[in-house]
Amino acid sequence: MTSESAGSGHSLKDLDIIRQDAESELAAVKDKETAEQFRIKYLGKKGILREILKSLKDIPEKERREFGARANQLRVTIEEKFEQAPWKTSREDKDSLSFDPTLPGFPFPKGSTHPLMRIRNEIRDIFLSMGFSVAYGPDVETDYYNFEALNTPAFHPARDMQDTFYISETVLLRTHTSPVQVRTMENRKPPFRYIMPGRVYRNEEISARSYCLFHQIEGLYVDENVSFSDLKGTLLAFCRRFFDEKTRIKIRPSFFPFTEPSVEIDVECFLCGGEGCSICKKSGWLEVLGAGMVHPNVLKNVGIDPEKYTGFAFGIGIERIALLKYGIEDIRFFYENDVRFLKQF
Ligand code: PHE
């Protein structure tokens, strides 16, 4: 509407038409741009509603009063409707959120330590506080380090294709962390105390209880006069720090080619306190590690005199402890990287 046409004089009917137009155009407004177009067209300095008020002088005197009041009221109504339009608040809130640089940033989600690494770190820290150091060895090993040097003869069932992933006839994925014992002893003179964490691999059928890879922490202590009571005292101290200060342990005879004597150590079930539950299969005890006095042949293989030095070694399965400690039902959860699982730790 131009002042020219306004000059021809408006009637009250025109105001109704303007109201109807404005209302239907306002209903069609959906973003900043169309809103601005609407504002300029109706509410701007040269907008329709201002022009109408300016054209008052052309209205016959007897109608002027009422027309002026109605036109003014129409302007107020349209202004109010424009301010209250629902797109406006939601739209503007969003815009100011994405553009206001003074607002604090969105929180950056923090990951958590994998449950296996948590258990590994806890075990490691206990042994570090007892004076052990950390050593590592390769996942891809030779037959020599994984078996031969560990007094495991060629006919030993652990060498079977069923258990071991062979890469070639003499290269394989280590089946335990014990080869790191050999590598560590080769370059050092006793006394020494080491823990050796790492991944190990076994060609086992995958199920809730076993997987083709898992983690161990190996321990080794060699010095003059190391006796079986040192092994017992060290591992009892470890179990009491890791599980509970009153935990009792049970030492059972076992067999490993690289230790003599060999034992397996059970801890009192920390879930039922030894009373017997479904986790400890009503026995009150949980098997947690294998250990023994380092076999004289192993010491000989790395050039350490077994007449002068003795030592003990142990191997702890990390998955087993994590399954028990956190009450996890399926070992495969550890390897699936499902954040819904990992977030719980
Ligand atoms: N290597 C053994 C295993 O994997 C555990 C072990 C380590 C036993 C050290 C004795 C001494 O079962």
Q: What is the pLDDT of residues 178-208, one digit of tens each?
A: 999 999 999 899 999 999 999 999 998 999 8
Residue 106 is predicted with a pLDDT of 82
Flag whether pLDDT at 334 surpasses 60: yes
Ligand 1: nearest atom to the Cα of 177: 1
- Bridge pairing between strands 192-201 and 213-223: antiparallel
Among 294, 180, 177, which residue's Cα sits nearest to residue 227? Answer: 294
Mean pLDDT, the chain, as a whole number? 89
Residue 6 is predicted with a pLDDT of 42
Is the CB of 315 inside a 6 Å radius of any atom of ligand 1? yes
Ligand 1 centroid to residue 315 C-alpha, Å: 5
pLDDT band, very low/low/confident/very high, at 1 (cuts 50, 70, 90): very low
pLDDT band, very low/low/confident/very high, at 250 (cuts 50, 70, 90): very high
Percent of the chain with pLDDT over 70: 92
In the numeric block, which tokens belong to residue 275? 């009373």
- Superfamily of domain covering 115-342: Bira Bifunctional Protein; Domain 2 (3.30.930.10)
Output DSSP code: residue 43. Answer: I
Q: Could you give the CA distance from residue 14 to residue 343 in angstroms, rounded to a whole number?
A: 66
Tens of pLDDT, residue by residue over 17-48, are 999 999 999 888 888 788 888 989 998 888 89
Match 């350490």 to its residue by tokens: 304
Flag whether pLDDT at 57 surpasses 80: yes
Strands (E), the chain: 133-134, 140-142, 171-173, 192-201, 213-223, 249-256, 259-268, 285-294, 310-317
Range 113-136 average pLDDT:
96
Other CB atoms within 10 Å distance of the CB of residue 112 = 12
In the numeric block, which tokens belong to residue 51? 């022009």
With 0-12 / 13-18 / 19 or more C-beta atoms within 10 angstroms meaning exposed / middle / buried, residue 274 is middle
3-state DSSP helix/strand/coil % of the chain, to nearest 5: 45, 20, 35
Ligand 1 centroid to residue 101 C-alpha, Å: 58
Ligand 1 centroid to residue 257 C-alpha, Å: 9
Output DSSP code: residue 241. Answer: H
Flag whether pLDDT at 123 surpasses 90: yes
Is the CB of 198 inside a 6 Å radius of any atom of ligand 1? no
Is the CB of 292 inside a 6 Å radius of any atom of ligand 1? yes
Is the CB of 201 inside a 6 Å radius of any atom of ligand 1? no
Is the CB of 311 inside a 6 Å radius of any atom of ligand 1? no
Tally of residues, the chain: 345
Whole-prediction pTM value?
0.69
Tens of pLDDT, residue by residue over 294-317, are 999 999 999 999 999 999 999 999
